[in-house]
């Protein structure tokens, strides 16, 4: 029977390890699983038993990974201890020393640091390219180029690349593709349907949705996920059972949260775009998201103050809205990219990307929109 996205988020398939099935998934808060004898240990290594040691696998980890894979229409998934852990696993599942990758010039600062500072130690080269214009990848592709990495909605300027176009470009040039879908979530778009090979989420954000979990999920092609799972285990990046349980519980309300948060973000963006104290408002246009499954523009809004020197005053004046260096919780929050998410970039790199001191990133929560706007209005009255 075909199920809608909303139904899939609620009806997560739990595979119990006990014959008496609980309605809510238990937390398998154990570091190791017990065996009656050596024969059963051998059964595990023969693939006849599922669990041995929680670093290698745990029912809560599997539940979350399979649920996100199902929503993303992917073959398999794996959980990781953070979004960065999931990104690392995806990159290393594809790249070897001496390889080259292409990436959007607008990516999360932590991802840039991983690519630029850490993977370069493995002689893995990176080139950043501008995806705002639909041009050929051919001038950028080398014989050792293996991977193309991009975000569905970029952090923090909320640019939406033409995903169908770039997926086709990558395919034409024989590149594997990895897409960070954290900001959009599978509620808005499923990159696998456009040919992506890997899709990654910081499940800390919208998947968990309540600012109480740190987790990552990587989904995609079965062959790549098998290697990614080995990397997660070997690098000690496995997700804890309790964190996995929290993220899976939060996932069940993803559709409801995204619907309300997208509604609020649209109203907030409209308010900010008309305010004299705001120089620029960044929020996707309707035509930018024409290929999204849900024709919504996301729940994030960024804006730049007209007087950037007042940015410290603005954050202090906010009363309802909290300053927090993350996003996607049920409460509306603000972040300052220059001093948090994109701190790893040089001043020149930030300025070239439009990430200035006056840039504010807002994550719309589920409160009444008029209350959020009222707080912004009073905070902007310099």
- Identify the burial level of 16 via C-beta atoms within 10 angstroms of its C-beta, where 0-12 means exposed, 13-18 middle and 19 or more buried: exposed
In this structure, are 271 and 137 located in the same domain?
no
Q: Which residue among 234, 251, 268 closes a domain?
A: 251
Neighbours of 192 (CB within 10 A): 23
| pLDDT tens per residue across span 264-320 | 999 999 999 999 999 999 999 999 999 999 989 999 999 999 999 999 999 999 999
Residue 355's pLDDT is 85
Residue 382's pLDDT is 81
Rounded CA Rg of the chain: 21
pLDDT at 354 over 90: no
Supply the CATH number for residue 349's domain. Answer: 3.90.1150.10
Residue 19's pLDDT is 62
In this structure, are 58 and 116 located in the same domain?
yes
Q: Which residue among 251, 278, 301 closes a domain?
A: 251
- d(CA 231, CA 224) in angstroms, rounded, equals 11
Give the pLDDT band of residue 17 (cuts 50, 70, 90).
Answer: low
Q: Is 133 a catalytic residue?
A: no
Residue 341's pLDDT is 74
First to last CA, the chain: 57
| % pLDDT > 70, the chain | 97
Q: Where is pLDDT greater, at 291 or 347? A: 291
Mean of the pLDDT values across residues 75-87?
A: 98
Residue 361's pLDDT is 96
Mean pLDDT of the residues in the chain: 94
Per 3-state DSSP, the chain is made up of helix, strand and coil in percentages (nearest 5) of 40, 15, 45
pLDDT at 21 over 90: no
Supply the CATH number for residue 120's domain. Answer: 3.40.640.10
In this structure, are 176 and 35 located in the same domain?
yes
In this structure, are 31 and 167 located in the same domain?
yes
| % pLDDT > 90, the chain | 85
**Cα-flanking dihedrals φ and ψ of residue 364, to 5°?**
-70, 130
Mean of the pLDDT values across residues 220-228?
A: 98
Tokens at 253, concatenated:
């309300």
- d(CA 59, CA 239) in angstroms, rounded, equals 11
Q: Is 108 a catalytic residue?
A: yes
| pLDDT tens per residue across span 157-188 | 999 999 999 999 999 999 999 999 999 999 99
Give the pLDDT band of residue 20 (cuts 50, 70, 90).
Answer: low
Give the pLDDT band of residue 2 (cuts 50, 70, 90).
Answer: low
Q: Which residue among 191, 219, 251 closes a domain?
A: 251
Q: Are strands 198-202 and 216-220 parallel, antiparallel or unpaired?
A: antiparallel
Mean of the pLDDT values across residues 34-38?
A: 93
Q: Which of 49, 50, 53, 55 is catalytic?
A: 55
- Identify the burial level of 300 via C-beta atoms within 10 angstroms of its C-beta, where 0-12 means exposed, 13-18 middle and 19 or more buried: buried
Residue 23's pLDDT is 82
| pLDDT tens per residue across span 118-151 | 999 999 999 999 998 899 999 999 999 999 999 9
In this structure, are 234 and 292 located in the same domain?
no
Residue 263's pLDDT is 98
In this structure, are 65 and 189 located in the same domain?
yes
Mean of the pLDDT values across residues 346-362?
A: 84
Taking phi over 0 as left and psi of -120 to 50 as alpha, with beta for the rest, 371 belongs to alpha
Q: Which of 28, 180, 249, 257 is catalytic?
A: 180
How many Cα atoms within 13 Å fall on the side-chain side of residue 381?
7
- d(CA 244, CA 80) in angstroms, rounded, equals 9
Cis peptide before 135 (omega within 30 of 0): no
Q: Where is pLDDT greater, at 318 or 7? A: 318
pLDDT at 1 over 70: no
Domain that holds residue 265: 254-379
In this structure, are 317 and 367 located in the same domain?
yes
In this structure, are 152 and 264 located in the same domain?
no
Q: Is 180 a catalytic residue?
A: yes
Q: Which of 28, 108, 112, 206 is catalytic?
A: 108
Mean of the pLDDT values across residues 217-241?
A: 97
Domain count, the chain: 2
Give the pLDDT band of residue 16 (cuts 50, 70, 90).
Answer: low
Give the pLDDT band of residue 351 (cuts 50, 70, 90).
Answer: confident
Q: Is 148 helix (H, G, I), strand (E, B) or coil?
A: strand
In this structure, are 234 and 373 located in the same domain?
no
- Identify the burial level of 20 via C-beta atoms within 10 angstroms of its C-beta, where 0-12 means exposed, 13-18 middle and 19 or more buried: exposed
In this structure, are 215 and 323 located in the same domain?
no
pLDDT at 247 over 90: yes
In this structure, are 133 and 246 located in the same domain?
yes
In this structure, are 241 and 290 located in the same domain?
no
Q: Which of 205, 296, 297, 350 is catalytic?
A: 205
Task: Report whether 163 contacts 191 (CB < 8 A).
Answer: yes
């Amino acid at each position: 029977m075909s199920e809608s996205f909303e139904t899939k988020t609620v009806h997560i398939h739990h595979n119990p390890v006990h014959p008496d099935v609980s309605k809510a998934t238990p937390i398998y808060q154990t570091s190791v699983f017990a065996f009656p004898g050596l024969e059963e240990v051998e059964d595990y290594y023969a693939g006849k038993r599922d669990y041995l040691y929680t670093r290698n696998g745990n029912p809560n980890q599997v539940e979350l990974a399979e649920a996100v894979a199902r929503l993303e229409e992917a073959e398999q998934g794996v959980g990781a201890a953070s979004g960065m852990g999931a990104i690392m696993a995806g990159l290393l599942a594809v790249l070897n020393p001496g390889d080259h990758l292409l990436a959007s010039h607008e990516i999360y600062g932590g991802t840039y640091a991983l690519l630029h500072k850490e993977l370069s130690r493995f002689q893995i080269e990176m080139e950043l390219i501008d995806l705002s214009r639909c041009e050929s990848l051919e001038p950028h592709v080398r014989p050792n180029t293996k991977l193309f990495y991009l975000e569905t909605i970029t952090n923090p300027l909320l640019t939406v690349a033409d995903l169908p176009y770039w997926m086709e470009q990558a395919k034409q040039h024989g590149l594997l593709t990895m897409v960070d879908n954290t900001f959009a979530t599978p509620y808005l778009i499923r990159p696998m349907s456009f040919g992506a090979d890997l899709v990654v989420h910081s499940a800390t954000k919208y998947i968990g949705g309540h600012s109480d979990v740190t987790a990552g999920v990587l989904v995609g092609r079965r062959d790549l996920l098998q290697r990614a799972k080995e990397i997660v285990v070997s690098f000690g990046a496995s997700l804890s059972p309790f964190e996995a349980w929290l993220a899976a519980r939060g996932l069940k309300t993803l559709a409801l949260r995204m619907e309300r948060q997208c509604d609020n973000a649209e109203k907030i963006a409209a308010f900010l775009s008309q305010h004299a104290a705001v120089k620029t408002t960044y929020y996707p246009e309707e035509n930018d998201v024409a290929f999204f499954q849900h024709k919504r523009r996301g729940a994030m809004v960024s804006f730049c103050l007209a007087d950037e020197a007042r940015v410290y005053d603005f954050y202090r004046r906010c009363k309802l809205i909290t300053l927090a260096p993350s996003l996607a919780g049920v409460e509306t929050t603000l972040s300052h990219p220059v001093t948090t998410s994109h701190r790893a970039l040089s001043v020149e790199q930030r300025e070239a990307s439009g990430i200035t001191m006056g840039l504010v990133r807002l994550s719309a929560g589920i409160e009444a929109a008029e209350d959020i706007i009222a707080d912004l209005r009073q905070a902007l009255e310099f």
